Structure 1
């Protein structure tokens, strides 16, 4: 399937791996794809489609990055149910090991690996991007197809985009229509 990806789409996939490395995650998920689609050099048609429905690509990338970071956060409520005061633990760790010590310790230390695996939701989004290209009668898979695949997969990355579209007064159907328009204009 990867042979059908256009050069910009291949760049997005590589940029998603870079985003996973920057965010210190073990695998690439759909939120990393959204980061790459929204802020990468290959984001042209996707960025134009997002702007046309009132969503800034930089906001999409920032929200997707925050969603990845939030998934790794310590759960203060869960710890409180066990009688542990997270703020007190954080204060003691900061005093003993320096500011932000607990957060640094909570992040996984990654071994240098040649590649990061793709999660099930990212694989599904990539598979659905092929189906979107076929549905639209396109021979290759380009960046709008990738975003359409992310949205169709009902993935965490797609939910970030849909939430921002909703805040801008738009919806999933409008985002999909904008992506299809930009795809044909490119």
Structure 2
């Protein structure tokens, strides 16, 4: 698949690897890809992120992703569902970190993902999580649905907005949705049905 990636898209993937390595993460996740997108300049995705005001809020986005990792990768929707059952996740995280150190749940989540992974590490460095791989496959589907011959970093950004989970939630909280990115890049003309028809969540992304 990587032979179809543009120079910018390849740079995002490599940037995500470097980001994960700096954090001493056990795997590259889709959050690392988002941070790598925010580090890009003079690309289609960077233009969209800057136009939507997300580029200048990188610190806020990184903090939100870090907070989610501390919760074991649970999204706000998951947290709210647990709260509905009378489970205070913040209290649980606090108690676990008191006993095992800050980020203990994030480390546990990494070990769980590592147990599910198969195959060799991409680029011979650090493995990609299932979520990150799925996001890259989704970017291919979006590019194909739009009849784009190559996968650009804008397709990776669009993929991150439609896959359910923490990264899409953080993006939406910072004003970046599939609809807003599509509007900036294509004037909202190119239908988002390609993303939905390509196996996305089926949410209203048009």
TM value normalised by structure 1: 0.69
Give secondary structure in 2 for the equivalent of 1:20: helix
Q: 2:182 aligns with which of 173, 176, 182?
A: 176
Q: Please tell me whether residue 65 in structure 1 is matched to residue 79 in structure 2.
A: no
| Aligned equivalent of 2:91 | 77
Matched, 1:33 2:33: yes
Q: Which runs of 5+ in 2 are unaligned?
A: 72-88, 108-120, 191-206
Counterparts of 1:21 and 1:151, CA distance in 2: 24
**Counterpart-to-counterpart distance in 2, 1:135 and 1:107:** 35
CA distance in 2, matches of 1:142, 1:152: 16
Counterpart mapping for 1:32-181 below 5 A: 32-41=32-41, 44-53=43-52, 55-59=53-57, 61-73=58-70, 77-78=91-92, 102-103=101-102, 114-165=124-175, 172-180=178-186
Provide the residue aligned with 1:24 in structure 2: 24
How far apart, in 1, do the equivalents of 2:105 and 2:96 lie?
Answer: 16
TM-score scaled by length of structure 2: 0.63
CA 158–76 in structure 1, closer or farther in 2 if over 3 Å, else same: closer
CA distance in 2, matches of 1:158, 1:107: 18
CA-based RMSD: 3.3
Provide closer, same or farther for how the CA distance between residues 175 and 13 of structure 1 changes in structure 2, counting only shifts above 3 A.
same
- Asked if structure 2 preserves the Cα contact closer than 8 Å seen for 1:5 and 1:142, the reply is yes
Alpha-carbon distance change, 50 to 146 in structure 1, aligned in 2, over 3 angstroms: same
- Structure 1 unmatched ranges of 5 or more: 91-101
Q: CA deviation at 1:165?
A: 0.2
Structure 2 contact 135–163 (Cα < 8 Å) conserved: yes
Once the two structures are superposed, what CA deviation does each residue of 1:3-36 show, in whole Å capped at 9, x if it has no partner? 1001110010000011111222111111111101
| Aligned residues between the structures | 157
Q: How far 1:105 moved relative to its partner?
A: 8.5
Q: Deviations over 1:151-180 (max 9, x none)?
A: 1222422221111007xxxx5412232244
List structure 1 runs of 4+ shifted beyond 6 angstroms: 104-107
